Amino acid sequence: MKILMVLTSHDRMGDTGNPTGFWLEEFVAPYYVFKDAGADVTLASPKGGQPPIDPTSTQPDALTDETRRFDGDDEAKAQLANTHSLDTMRADDFDAIFYPGGHGPLWDLTDDRHSQQLIHDFLAARKPVAAVCHAPAVLVHAQGVDGQSVVKGHRVTGFSNSEEEAVGLTNVVPLLVENALKDKGGHYERSATDFEAYQLRDGLLITGQNPASSAPTAKLLLNALTE
């Protein structure tokens, strides 16, 4: 079982000058779900090398058992520091692809042509594609074999408008994930309460709403691979 995880290379929150990147827990929780299941995990990012970690996700109130496990895992940290360049990745070499969130993907991965081609190729090969929190935005411009957005007509979730408002970044981000998914014809669903875990699978598309959904979304992907 070979899984490709794609992380952002973008490190600035729009014009604010504040740092951003990927959300640590949204990477490490799925990473260990996959590794503990015996999967071979490959990491990639648009620029390769060390992807930026959102410093907010390393604050004490954001830490989890998985982030503490990662802190003591020299092998995993070395792998993260040396991600492959995204343009060298091929869907033929993997069984599934997973995108961790954080705000960074909104600026680079959403419009990345290599990412869009990978998503197209995975789906065309009947291989699952998963994304969590802000990362479902990477799906909106990716096209299926029918030339339409891959989310069109599918049940999907992602960071909600009210959650973005709660973190005070509605007017900073280049797009709102909920709106973008709806605009491309996705049937958006969400939890009853902000920041409550919510994840779903519709065919080959697997999406999670927020950080609490990261491990459950990874488990849905594993289920899709082991059916």
The domain total for the chain is: 1
Distance CA 130, CA 51 (A): 19
pTM of the model: 0.97
- CATH code of the domain covering residue 83: 3.40.50.880
Q: pLDDT truncated to tens, each residue of the chain (227 aa)?
A: 999 999 999 999 988 989 999 999 999 999 999 999 999 999 999 999 999 999 999 999 999 999 999 999 999 999 999 999 999 999 999 999 999 999 999 999 999 999 999 999 999 999 999 999 999 999 999 999 899 999 999 999 999 999 999 999 999 999 999 999 999 999 999 999 999 999 999 999 999 999 999 999 999 999 999 88
Q: How far is 170 from 54, CA to CA, in rounded Å?
A: 17
**Domain ranges, residue 82:** 2-226
Token code pair at residue 105: 């993907």
Strand 40-45 to strand 129-132: parallel, antiparallel, or no bridges (unpaired)?
unpaired
